[in-house]
Structure 1
Amino acid sequence: MQATDLDMVLAWRNHPDVRQHMLTQHVITLDEHRQWFERSLHNPQRKIMLVENQGLPFGLVHFTGIAPQASVDWGFYLAPDAAKGSGRALGQSALSFAFEQMQMHKLCGQVLEGNAASVRFHERLGFSLEGRLRAQVFIASQYRDLLCFGLLRSEWLKTSLT
């Protein structure tokens, strides 16, 4: 992701279909977005990438806590108008990058309870449900649980080779 992508990514992030599944659900301002991007650029443990098909971006993936052989947190979202099947392409590209290129030990993801699509997405990619953080986040006047998913590099390698 580059600075020239900020407006497009902010429009995706603020779209109601995307925002409703985020831990931070208010409409992000351009200034907030720029500050997030600048902090990320200067953080060697963070990587933000756009996922493209034939040169056209359709999603964003970010990794946090990057270090050799580390357990790394990941997050993602698709452009609201992304074509059917884009999620699978995004997931496969991100996992290939994480485990083949970056040699990450484990990817960890958190999903708001009630986000059935994201739960299915993680499961289809091979993630295991590892736990539940009860009443972990306060969103829209209520506490919500977070579901914790994990995928080990060794697990991914077994499935990616078949």
Structure 2
Amino acid sequence: MLRYATPEDRDEVLRWRNHPQVRRASLTTHVIEPAEHAAWWDAVALDPLRHVLVFEWRGRPSGVVMFDGRRSAERGVIWGFYLDVDGLTGRGELLPAWLELEREAVDFAFDTLGVDRLGGETLAWNTPVLQLHRRFGFTATRRYECVIDGEPQEVVWTELAAADRRGPRGTERSAAHAHHQDR
């Protein structure tokens, strides 16, 4: 289940973001200090074009999804996510939670936010994320280089148009179908 983040979620979201695996797969890899995170959190809370949602898996907060529509005219809505790696791994639930988070995020973007295109950046070496996006119908539309920690890294931009939306097994999905699935 996705729900809008509350002020009570702020510290837990920071803990998830600072996990070494999450930082390694991010475009910014430094440990985010509480003051930096608080400033970002406050700015997002005031911006109607940005949304932070907490993903709950089996009744526990287990990840976060962010949508940024500030550049929607040129690139569609940009999204990103990360999970509670330690908590989900410890319970043996990382993969099923990850699949569900992606399904719910795609549904939310198209069915609730009403976006036309959803796109995001993934480091090229992160093949599990790229494969998951592909399963949900995302297409790699361009590649470019970004310097991260002084080293050039290849970034893959993937996007999904509302008309091309599919479920995780390649089946076409419609808004009506999404609303009638078991949640």
Matched, 1:50 2:59: no
* Cα separation, 1, equivalents of 2:69 and 2:112: 16
Alpha-carbon RMSD: 1.9
2:119 is equivalent to residue 108 of structure 1: yes
Secondary structure of the structure 1 residue equivalent to 2:48: coil
Residue 22 of structure 2 aligns with which residue? 18
Q: Aligned AA for 1:9?
A: V
Mark the runs of 5 or more structure 1 residues left unpaired by the alignment. Answer: none
> What is the TM-score when the length of structure 1 is the normalising length?
0.91
Q: TM-score, normalised by structure 2?
A: 0.81
The alignment of Structure 1 onto Structure 2 pairs a total of residues equal to 159
Query: Separation in 2 of the partners of 1:13 and 1:32?
Result: 12
Q: Percent same amino acid among aligned pairs?
A: 31
In structure 1, the residue matched to 2:136 is 125
Deviation at 1:114, TM superposition (A): 0.6
Q: Residue 32 of structure 1 aligns with which residue?
A: 36
Deviation of the 1:141 alpha carbon: 2.4
Higher mean C-alpha displacement, 38-47 vs 81-90 = 81-90
Q: What residue in structure 1 maps to residue 80 of structure 2?
A: 75
- 1:72-126 CA deviation, whole Å, 9 max, x = no partner? 0000011113213111100111111111111100101111121111111111111
1:89 corresponds, among 90, 95, 100, to: 100
Find runs of 4+ consecutive structure 1 residues off by over 2 angstroms. Answer: none
Give the 3-state SS of the residue equivalent to 2:15 in structure 1.
helix
Gap runs ≥5 in structure 2: 178-183
C-alpha distance in 2 between matches for 1:112 and 1:90:
19
